[in-house]
Each structure stands twice: as structure tokens, then as C-alpha cells.
Structure 1
Amino acid sequence: MDKKLQVFISSTYSDLKEERQAAVQAILKAGHIPAGMELFTAGDKSQMETIKRWIDESDIYMLILGGRYGSIEPTTSLSYTELEYDYAVEKEMPLFAVVITEKALDEKVKAHSIDYIERQQPAALAGFKAKVLANISSFFDDAKDIKLTVHETIGDFIGRYKFSGWVKGDQILDSAPLLDEIKRLTTQRNDLEQQLAQLKKVSNGVAKAEADQVNLHELALLLSKIEIETPVFNGSEDAQTPKYDLYRLFTVYSNYIVTGITNKAASSDIEKFLYYNVCTKLQVHGLVKNEKVAGVQWRMFSVTPLGERFLAFADRLKFEASTNLISQT
């Protein structure tokens, strides 16, 4: 696209008309847009805000500094020209300055009058000039120097900075199709992210199930190694006391335990055995939990979620064993 840059020209007005005109011509010849606020009414309180908006809309700031300090902004006691320059520096926008030489200033005074030099605030002008010369700046003797500086500096800036600039309306690409494509791709990406999240959830569930399966196998082997002696199931205390492993006791009497085993005084011998001898050991492995029953004096063991999974696992083992036995026959 044929991009045109807007160059804000800052200077005092009456003493630098010829120099401003040279800058305007050079900017226009380079195919860009000059801008400036030389015709504002000094002392207008809102004027500085208007100047700032113009600078904000510009791509490059140019200062032409002669022998005058310029009109004073009443709030800051600084000249509008210095305030414009400070604002451009604050914005860190590309800027450059051309400063009149002492020789050229003397010639202006001889040709015109002492009105071309600062008589009221020479110290302020000297301070401003020192500030300007500390940044990108060059000196000029006449209009040709200004035109050359404008041409060289804008060309250099174009190679160094990325400018927004101004373009003709018919050169702007129609962004509607691009926005539609971005919207379509965004929707597609969101759908894919949801599918990926679902797959991860399923994958994590499978991995957890497999890990639980391994843990349940290990827990079953452990419970089968823990034996408890009791005569409560053979009905005779004189007989040899048999041993029962904890896995068998939990799975065989799961209906009792799932329903809830209490320590009520009226409990049967089997219930008491399950409460005091079996459930206390199952609790250590997180398969049951002991809790107080509301409104009564006794407590109860009930199966935990891990206990429920373990019993379901035991049922699957039993089913698989019976299936294998049938298939072998």
C-alpha cells in the first residue's frame, strides 16, 4: 500500500515562516502529510490538549528551532514549542530537530529586526536548545538545509521504524473474509480442545482404573495372608479352633458389613466377631469406617467407597474363576 506519513512541524511562527514553508514543501514532495498548530490562539487553556491530539495522530515529530522561545503556556510557564517537544519525547515517537546557526540568526536580525532573537527569556531558550541538541538534531543556514534534512531523515526513519501512516480507502483490504476465517478457525480450535480434554479425561480414567486394579490385586493378596482364629462358626469351643483369612471373611460376610455392623448389646456372636475382630482390621486398610449412629448409644462399621470397589473386584474374580471352570469342563 502507498502509505503516507504525517509529520508534525513544531516551531515559533512569525520568525520562522520561510523555514516552515520549506519543511512543508519537502514533506509534500516526499509524498507525505505536513501538520502543525502554528495558527492557534496563545493562552487558550484547551490548546495544549488539541496539540497533543495532533501529535498523537502524527507519525513523526519535527522541530524547527530559531532565535525565539515562543508563546508561554500560563500553567507551566514553558513555551508551547517546548511543551510540544517534551510531549513527543515522552511518547518516544520518532523525532528530529533543525536548529538555526548563529551565522544565519545574525543575518536574520540584520535583514529584519531584533524581534528575531529572544529578549524576554533568553535563559529559557538556552536551556531548551541544550535539551534539543542532546537528541537527534542538525543545524541549518537556509531553507535548502531544511529540505535536505527532511528528505534524509524521513527516508532514514522509514527504514528504522514501523509506522501506522495513512492510506487511501480503496487500498485497504476487505477484512470481512479474514475475520470470518479467523472465527471459523477459532471455533474449530475450541472444538478440538474440548475433544482433547475429553480424551484426556477418558485416558486418565482408564489409567486410574488400571492402577486401582493393580492395587486391589495387591490388597486381596494381603488380606488373604491375614488369618483370624475363631470358634464362632463351628459351634463348638472344644473343637480345634479354625483359622479364616481376612479376604474370605470380608467377601463371605459382605452382606452383613454392607448393611452395617453395630456394637449393640443384642448383637449376635457373629456380628460381635465381625465388629470387634474383622472390621477393626478392615478399617486399617480403608475398606470400612466406624461412625456413631445418630440418636442411639452404639456405633456402626460401614463400607467405604474403596470397600465397595474391592467387593465388586472380588465378585469379578469369582465370576472369572467360575467361567474358566465351566470352559475347562
Structure 2
Amino acid sequence: MSSATATPASGSRAPAVTDPPIRRPRRRMRAGTLVSILAMLAVTAFVLLPIAIIVLTAFKPTAEVNAYPPTLVPDTWTLDNMRRIVTELPFSRLVLNSFVFAGGVTAFALVFDSLAAYALARIDFRGRRALLIAIIASLMIPFQATLVPVYQLVSELGWVNTFPGLIAPRAADAFGIFFLRQFFLALPRDLDSAARIDGANEFRIFRSIVLPNVVPALLTLGIFTFVNNWNDLLWPLVFTTEQEMGTITSGLTLLTGPGGIIPYGVMMAGSLIAILPLVVAFLLVQRRFIESVATTGLKG
């Protein structure tokens, strides 16, 4: 008994057999992930709340700022607070002084701190450990304890109401030295040895080998130093007695009314203007900072 099998006619193609599409199950967000996202959003909102209050209060009229109960969003938007900042203060001069003061301190601190940190981390000399202990111990001395002696020294030098008097006492910082020293210690010593075999001296090793590999640390310290000095109130307030030599933070204190009445709307407007350069500086440095972290150890 024979069975006949059907074959397709010559010249005709058999229909293509396609597999049914596979439906992938939708991934459901886990409860833990959702809780983490909500927690991060809540923390972000809590952190940004003071900035939102500053921005919104800067555009409120005085009557609404002093109203009770207070409101977050202004009913009437105004630019009077901004006008008072510009008209009642030498605003452009104060901003320029802040840039010179904070930028000068940052530049000198990066130079002197990096030199001292390199010596403590990469050069063996007698008394290095004792010097390091003394530098770390100086961090425990309150800033207010040294304010009067430093002011007397600056006054005897005739540097009151001058940029050298503002910048020189802060040209080096114990925290910056210790911070950079820890980064220098993390670099392999083979880099130094290879450079010395090629005939490089210590300064050449410091400039061409070590510094290019610690750019993230330098940028981090530079941002911290610039922000701290830009926002500082006590130091410029003590070392400057003339309005033309003040900074933006010390200049805002001149707007205090009789009897200690504080125009909060004007203060918030000044604080908002003072924040903007810091935001711009951070945005400019952010990309360079990320690139430096990615290429650390590959330069030399």
C-alpha cells in the first residue's frame, strides 16, 4: 500500500510560515523603587524650598512680604526690590569686589595649598609628620579666635580697605592642604620615579605629572573656596570700613533701616542676585569636572 504525498507545483512558492509575535510581559515598577523615587522627590523639594522662597519673596511688594499669614506665591509681582538694590547701593562695584575677593583667594589658595600638599605627600624630609600634625591641629582653632590678631597685623601693614588685606590672610588654608595631600597620596609613585629617570626635577614633576592627574580635586577645592568667600559676611565686614570696598554680602547690610528694620524683600532680591554667579560658575565647571574624573590617571 503506497501513500501519495502532495507536492507544490513547480514554479510556485510555499507560503512563509511566521511565528506568532512573542508578547513580553510588561515590567511593573517595584514598590521599593517607587518609594525610593518618591523619597528623592520629597528630599529635592525640601532642599529647593528655601531657594523658591528667596525667588518668590524677591518679587513681592513690601506690604505683602510683611503680611500675616504669609503667602508663598505673590499676588502682585513687582521689581521694586531689584530697583532698590541697584539705586541705593553701588551694586556693580560690590559685585566686582566680590569677584576680585573670592577669585583672588581661590587662585592663591590653589597655588599655595597644592605646593604644600605636594611637599607633604611626595617629598621625604625631616619633620614632615610634625608639620602635618600642626596643620591639622590648626583646623581646631576657631576663626573668631584669630580675627583680632589678624586685623591688627593687617592694620599695621596699612592694608585695611584694600584687596591685599582681604586676600592675603586667606591665601592658604589648612583644610585645602590636607584635602589635596590625600589626593596626592593616591597617585602611584611610579609616575614620579619614571619622571626622575627622565631627568625631571621636583617642580617639573609637580607641574607636568601630578597636577594634571588631580584636576578633579583642584576643581572641587576651587568651587568650595570660591563659594565660601563669595558668601562670607564677617571677613569683609571687619576688614572694610568704606562702602566702595565692600562685597555684595556686606553691602546688603547697608539696607537695614532705622531701629534694625530689615527689608526682607530687598534682602531676598540681593541674595537672589548674589546666587546667580555661583550657579553660572558651577554650570561652567561641571562638564570639565566630569571629564577630569573620567580621565584621572591617564594624563602625564
The TM-score, its normalising length taken from structure 1, stands at 0.23
Between structures 1 and 2, the one with greater strand share: 1
Higher RCO (CA-CA < 8 Å; seq separation 6+): 2
Larger Rg: 1
TM-score, reference length from structure 2:
0.24
Q: Counting helix residues as a fraction of each chain, which structure ranks higher? A: 2
